[in-house]
Amino acid sequence: MKTFRFILVIIIIAVLAQLIHIRLLFVLDYALIGMLVFAFGWAQLSLQWITVERKGNGDRASVGDYYEEVITMRNGGFLPKLWLEVRDHSELPGHRLNCVQSLKPFGEVQWRAKTYCSLRGRFRMGPIQVTAGDPFGLFHFKKDLPVKHFITVYPPTFEINRFDSLSGVLPGGNTANRPTPHTTPNITGLREYRPGDSLNRIHWASTARQRKLIVKEFDFDPTIDVQIFLDMNLKNHWVLNHISRKGVTTALPASSGVRSNDSTEEYSVAAAATLARHFLGIGRSVGFTAWGQHHELISPDRGERQLNKIMEALAVLRAQGNQDFGQLIASELTRLGGTDTVILITCSTEEGWASVLPLLLRKNVKVAVVMVEPSTFGGPVASPLFVLGSLITMNVPVYLVKRGDDLTQALDSQLARLAAEVV
């Protein structure tokens, strides 16, 4: 609008100069035209030869960590760049790089942004948009610099110490330190080849180094697989929407699209991440199953790589599924057996999914349930006592998680027993 008025003034002065033939008006008109051309050229050239580089402290983080990013802007031309407005379009909540910078000829400038990771997910970092103008404020031009990358924020995990104290209920134990003729994941040492040893036990690196056949020796491992089932059915989840402007908190169904750490979805995901980390940390083999945006199935395995796979899945998993939790459990019955322990994490107070559990128990599958109580998040006030009663009748241990609970304590086996006794 300012440019339009400026051009209108030039036209009016030009018309007056032609009508009254005053030399000063012609000079003024030419000066204003020159100023307009200069301003246009300045604004255009201010966006030329600009490059941006952004470096973060990794592409992985967890909720509660700080993500730090360094932005470097360079001027590859001989003209100075004044008053460059930088706007960042990153998706990471709270990440702000917006500022105004100036660059000397062939110069560079750096600045940092440190952001608290408050929400799990996979977020795009960038692109950056640079806006330049002229000294007179007549023109503003924008340039998008497609400098972007992605960061994955894992859900939070908590230290738990006594969940595995239910070894009498959740079977399996420590590795038995005795040799076994079978191949297991536990290699205890090396020894010389003996007649009858299988060729697939030969350790070729040691054989080449010692110039004689060396074989691997294995330990017997009775520990069973831990299968974590997470209920991501959209209709079961609730979120608390905090409207800070009015000081009002409103409970909304997950279908509203509002995201907050104060939700059954985030509590459930945090419980799954905590349990996966705990059991993998004590050497168990852990698998994961859920139905959110799609069917997520991770076969049981051990080690750090398995933990990363599960955390990657949990980082982007959303409560967008439409499959009933009971149907999800029933669909996986064929691959579960007596050597499995199933941990079910749900916020459903309906008894339908619990009716599937006898099918698991008849196969000698050991079951434990972590229930996130939806009523404490503003959800339906339906009491979970009927479901808890059914589970206790089946001798299934239950861990009840309410809003505001510390998962370190909520997943404590002693508290689970106490809750069962009260019910």
pLDDT band at residue 187, thresholds of 50, 70 and 90? low
Task: Please state, in angstroms and rounded to a whole number, the distance separating the CA atoms of residues 75 and 126.
Answer: 19
pLDDT of residue 237: 92
Q: Are 20 and 138 in a shared domain?
A: no
Q: Are 210 and 317 in a shared domain?
A: no
379 has pLDDT over 90? no
365 has pLDDT over 60? yes
Q: Are 14 and 101 in a shared domain?
A: no
pLDDT of residue 167: 47
Q: Are 39 and 58 in a shared domain?
A: no
CA-to-CA dists, residue 237 to 153, 233, 258, 342, 372, angstroms: 21, 7, 12, 21, 10
Lowest-confidence range among 103-107, 118-122, 261-265, 388-392?
388-392
Q: Are 306 and 392 in a shared domain?
A: yes
By residue range, what is the domain housing residue 29? 2-45
Count up the domains in the chain and report the number: 4
CATH at 58:
2.60.40.10
Token pair, residue 359, equals 């099918």
Beta strand 99-103 pairing with 81-88: antiparallel
Task: Please state, in angstroms and rounded to a whole number, the distance separating the CA atoms of residues 179 and 218.
Answer: 6
Q: How does DSSP classify residue 174?
A: S
Q: Are 228 and 331 in a shared domain?
A: yes
Query: Among 120, 154, 188, which residue terminates a domain?
Result: 154
CA-to-CA dists, residue 389 to 166, 330, 396, angstroms: 20, 21, 10
Q: Are 37 and 61 in a shared domain?
A: no
Higher pLDDT, 154 or 192: 154
Q: Are 373 and 247 in a shared domain?
A: yes
Q: Are 235 and 361 in a shared domain?
A: yes
Phi first, then psi, for residue 193 (nearest 5°) are: -65, 140
pTM more than 0.95: no
pLDDT, one tens digit per residue, over 126-177 is 899 999 988 888 898 999 988 888 999 999 999 887 664 444 444 444 444 4
Name 154's Cβ contacts closer than 8 Å, sequence gap at least 6.
60, 61, 62, 63, 120, 273, 311, 312, 314, 315
350 has pLDDT over 50? yes
pLDDT of residue 244: 53
Higher pLDDT, 100 or 416: 100
Mean pLDDT over 193-204 rounds to: 81
% of the chain at pLDDT higher than 70: 87
Name 213's Cβ contacts closer than 8 Å, sequence gap at least 6.
192, 193, 202, 207
Residue the block writes with tokens 């009016």? 12
CATH at 415:
3.40.50.410
Q: Are 389 and 355 in a shared domain?
A: yes
Token pair, residue 363, equals 């196969």
Q: Are 29 and 92 in a shared domain?
A: no
Name 275's Cβ contacts closer than 8 Å, sequence gap at least 6.
160, 163, 226, 228, 343, 345, 370, 411
Q: Are 349 and 295 in a shared domain?
A: yes
Mean pLDDT over 206-224 rounds to: 75
Question: Which stretches does DSSP call E strand in 104-222?
Answer: 108-116, 121-125, 128-133, 140-145, 149-154, 176-180, 187-192, 214-220
pLDDT, one tens digit per residue, over 199-214 is 778 888 888 888 889 8
